[in-house]
Amino acid sequence: MTTQLVELETQLTTLQQEAEGAIAAAASLEDLEQLRIKYLGKKGSLSQVLGGMGRLSAEERPRIGALANEVKEVVQTGLDQKKAALQAAQIEAQLAAETLDVTMPGTFRPQGRNHPLTSTIDRALDIFVGLGYTVAQGPEMETDYYNFEALNTPADHPARDMQDTFYLPDGNLLRTHTSSVQIRYMEANEPPIRVAAPGRVYRRDTVDATHSAVFHQIEILAVDEGLTFTDLRGTIKTFLEEMFGEIEVRFRPSFFPFTEPSAEVDVRWRGRWLEVLGCGMVDPNVLKAVGYDPEIYTGFAAGFGVERFAMVLHQMTDIRDLYKSDLRFLRQF
Ligand code: 2NL
């Protein structure tokens, strides 16, 4: 046995021991890759040791070759095992870092709800939609024409006094009812029509427990061939019974410039007659104003204040409570 052979054997054994130690100490996949290059790479330690094989005899060479393969295999297996261990540890660490504590208390968000005016509007519109009505909206600032003229209320009409409102410098005004929405709807659509118009309206009014200069209204309008006061009465009765439950309803003669005949409607509520809405058969002049032929079509209409309905339904005593946004009040509904 030559010294050359012994030397190479020692080198290979040392290489293996050193590599095993380094692999065991490797802390990351990057470290491990560096070790692979260092020991098994093209210019790595193993290649260098094998470079010395040229000086061996033909009988010695296979011995070193076999040993070198063994060393290579041991180091490669060591690298593979360590790689798998490091990868597993990395996943473990990631899982631990990303753990969700489902028992942690959440952020408290108070449950909101609709304002009683909104829920009253929603309830009323649901009923009319159920009766085949379409909901329509329009501008709060109106021209004199859409708010008054088209509704058979010319400038010198005494009914204007009851519907005094806020005027803008250009002659426009804040609408006193949502009838203006229905005029616009009729201009844009041909009969038969069924329309419900909810919205904010304005009046020159002294504010007290039952009056507000800004309030909400819902109006309904039906125009068709052959509609009569009976259709109006049935529609109103159905609506009020859905709103209040089984209830006594009373129609009294009244006057509106845009309906003829006109009526005011009361319900018997907790032993008293309460006025809840106004209605009537659409005045032929209103039909003419939107280009409908009153010889062919008739119509009925009704209007009511949302605040009044909400106050009756929830036994409220002061309309101003509806505008204060005081949660101690609003939470009750
Ligand atoms: C009330 C009750 C009412 C109408 C509104 C109306 C609308 C058109 C044509 C005819 Cl487009 N009428 N709306 C009818 C009767 C009563 O409201 O107390 N108003 C002051």
For range 269-274, the mean pLDDT: 89
Residue 28 confidence class, pLDDT cut points 50, 70, 90: confident
Spell 94-119 as b/e; 16+ CB within 10 A means b. Answer: eeeeeeeeeeeeeeeeeeeeeebbee
Asked if the model's pLDDT at residue 63 lies above 90, the reply is no
How far apart CA 210 and CA 274 sit, in angstroms, is 13
- Exposed (0-12), middle (13-18) or buried (19+): which is 322, by Cβ within 10 Å? buried
Under a CB-based contact definition with an 8 Å cutoff, are residues 145 and 137 in contact? no
Residue 75 confidence class, pLDDT cut points 50, 70, 90: confident
How far apart CA 165 and CA 246 sit, in angstroms, is 37
Going by alpha carbons, the residue nearest to atom 6 of ligand 1 is 301
Q: Which residues contact 51 (CB under 8 A, 6 or more apart)?
A: none
**Mind listing the pLDDT tens digit for each residue in 92-131?**
989 988 888 889 998 999 889 999 999 999 999 999 999 9
The yes or no reply on domain 3-98 and CATH 1.20.58 is yes
Q: C-alpha angle 186/187/189, rounded to 5°?
A: 60
Asked if the model's pLDDT at residue 86 lies above 70, the reply is yes
Going by alpha carbons, the residue nearest to atom 18 of ligand 1 is 278
Check whether 60 is labelled as a binding-site residue. no
Under a CB-based contact definition with an 8 Å cutoff, are residues 278 and 265 in contact? yes
Structure confidence at residue 277 (pLDDT): 97
DSSP state of 55: G
Structure confidence at residue 21 (pLDDT): 87
For range 281-290, the mean pLDDT: 98
How far apart CA 287 and CA 191 sit, in angstroms, is 11
Asked if the model's pLDDT at residue 217 lies above 80, the reply is yes
Domain boundaries, the chain: 3-98, 116-330
Comparing 146 with 7, which gets the higher pLDDT? 146
Structure confidence at residue 226 (pLDDT): 97
Residue type for position 288: K
CA of residue 321 to ligand 1 center, whole Å: 27
CA distances from 260 to 53, 78, 255, 267, 280 (A): 121, 102, 8, 22, 6
Q: What is the pTM of this model?
A: 0.71
For range 50-77, the mean pLDDT: 84
**Mind listing the pLDDT tens digit for each residue in 132-162?**
999 999 999 999 999 999 999 988 888 887 8
CA distances from 245 to 33, 162, 198, 279, 282 (A): 82, 32, 22, 20, 28
Least confident of 31-40, 175-184, 281-290: 31-40
Report the SS3 class of residue 119: helix
- Exposed (0-12), middle (13-18) or buried (19+): which is 253, by Cβ within 10 Å? exposed
Residue 18 confidence class, pLDDT cut points 50, 70, 90: confident
Least confident of 67-71, 167-171, 246-250, 324-328: 67-71
- Reading the block at residue 202, the tokens are 């304005």
How far apart CA 237 and CA 306 sit, in angstroms, is 17
The yes or no reply on domain 116-330 and CATH 3.30.930.10 is yes
β-bridge partners, 262: 254, 280
Least confident of 26-40, 186-200, 309-323: 26-40
Residue 264 confidence class, pLDDT cut points 50, 70, 90: very high
For tokens 């009511």, what's the residue?
Answer: 304
Nearest CA to 121 out of 313, 315, 278 is that of: 313
* Ligand 1 pocket residues where CB is under 6 Å: 177, 179, 182-183, 219, 221, 256, 258-259, 278-280, 282, 286, 301-303
Q: Which residues contact 142 (CB under 8 A, 6 or more apart)?
A: 172, 173, 174, 175, 180
Comparing 264 with 79, which gets the higher pLDDT? 264
What is the number of the ligand 1 atom nearest to the C-alpha of 150? 11
What is the number of the ligand 1 atom nearest to the C-alpha of 278? 2
Structure confidence at residue 159 (pLDDT): 83
- Reading the block at residue 152, the tokens are 């058979």
Asked if the model's pLDDT at residue 237 lies above 70, the reply is yes
For range 241-246, the mean pLDDT: 93
Structure confidence at residue 1 (pLDDT): 59
Structure confidence at residue 231 (pLDDT): 98
Q: What angle separates helix 60-97 from helix 3-25, to the nearest 10 degrees?
A: 0
